[in-house]
């Protein structure tokens, strides 16, 4: 990585800076499987799995994830049901966050330290409305010049990932163009957003989606940990 070639760095949150993706995965699984157990209408009612998370939910705005999963199973649900299921999942996530807190990945902190030393503007672009609370719990909120959460996206009318709108907005807020900004994402939808926005570099972080899938989605390079992006002589 030659970081001097870029003007801003945009991070996804869950699974990139913090391991909260695992909390999201558990919350989604509990919510969807409880729904499927009680649901008796048409469609595929086999249990929800992690494969469903990566294929239909990961990185997307909450209600979009609900809709896309239900559609994948042939389940038709009114909008009020979609909202109810999404809110149920969010409540479960918030309970775990309040109880257990969150610690950022050590490799992510190492990269944040390195980029701060270079003076590069940093932003977070997350589909989660809880992004500021998670960053504060992790002790890294002050590292970022802008945080474009799901709540901000809704307020501004920005389309969520895989559309590039939220990333483009964050880059502009930091005084950069998409072509001069780096996107770091672990979700296929987020990688697709970075590619659709024609960002200068799209880095896939493989926390379970798979290097091949991230590359196919549009990642220029795939790493397993953000520490891999810190020059050895700076680590």
Q: Using CA atoms, how far apart are residues 219 and 193, in angstroms rounded to an integer?
A: 10
Note if the bond before 162 is cis, omega within 30 degrees: yes
| CA separation, residue 3 to residues 117, 181, 198, 235 (Å) | 11, 10, 18, 15
- The answer to whether 189 and 177 are in contact (CB under 8 A) is no
- The answer to whether 66 and 73 are in contact (CB under 8 A) is no
| Alpha-carbon 85 to chain mean position | 19
Q: Using CA atoms, how far apart are residues 63 and 148, in angstroms rounded to an integer?
A: 17
Q: Which candidate in 14, 52, 64, 165 is catalytic?
A: 14
- The answer to whether 178 and 158 are in contact (CB under 8 A) is no
Q: Using CA atoms, how far apart are residues 85 and 74, in angstroms rounded to an integer?
A: 16
Is 113 a catalytic site residue? no
Residue for token digits 């780096």? 182
Is 14 a catalytic site residue? yes
Q: Which candidate in 12, 58, 165, 186 is catalytic?
A: 12
Give the residue ranges of DSSP H helices in the chain. Answer: 20-38, 50-52, 62-72, 79-100, 106-118, 131-138, 150-156, 165-173, 188-196, 211-217
Token pair of 113 as six digits: 């330290």
Catalytic machinery residues: 12, 14
């Amino acid at each position: 990585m030659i970081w001097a070639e870029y003007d801003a760095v945009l991070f996804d949150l869950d699974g990139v800076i913090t391991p909260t993706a695992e909390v999201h995965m558990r919350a989604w699984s509990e919510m969807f499987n409880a729904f499927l157990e009680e649901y008796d209408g048409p469609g595929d009612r086999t249990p929800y799995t992690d494969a469903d998370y990566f294929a239909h939910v990961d990185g997307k705005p909450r209600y979009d994830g609900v809709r896309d999963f239900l559609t994948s199973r042939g389940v038709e649900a009114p909008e009020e049901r979609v909202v109810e299921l999404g809110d149920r999942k969010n409540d479960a996530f918030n309970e775990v966050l309040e109880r257990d807190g969150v610690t950022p990945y050590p490799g992510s902190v190492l990269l944040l330290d390195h980029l701060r030393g270079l003076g590069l503007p940093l932003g977070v672009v997350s589909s989660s409305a809880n992004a500021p609370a998670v960053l504060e719990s992790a002790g890294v909120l002050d590292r970022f010049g802008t945080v474009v959460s799901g709540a901000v996206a809704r307020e501004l009318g920005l389309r969520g990932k895989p559309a590039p709108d939220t990333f483009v907005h964050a880059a502009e807020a930091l005084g950069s163009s998409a072509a001069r900004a780096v996107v770091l994402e672990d979700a296929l939808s987020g990688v697709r957003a970075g590619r659709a926005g024609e960002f200068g570099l799209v880095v896939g972080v493989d926390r379970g989606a798979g290097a091949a899938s991230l590359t196919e989605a549009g990642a220029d390079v795939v790493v397993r940990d953000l520490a891999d992006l810190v020059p050895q002589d700076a680590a």
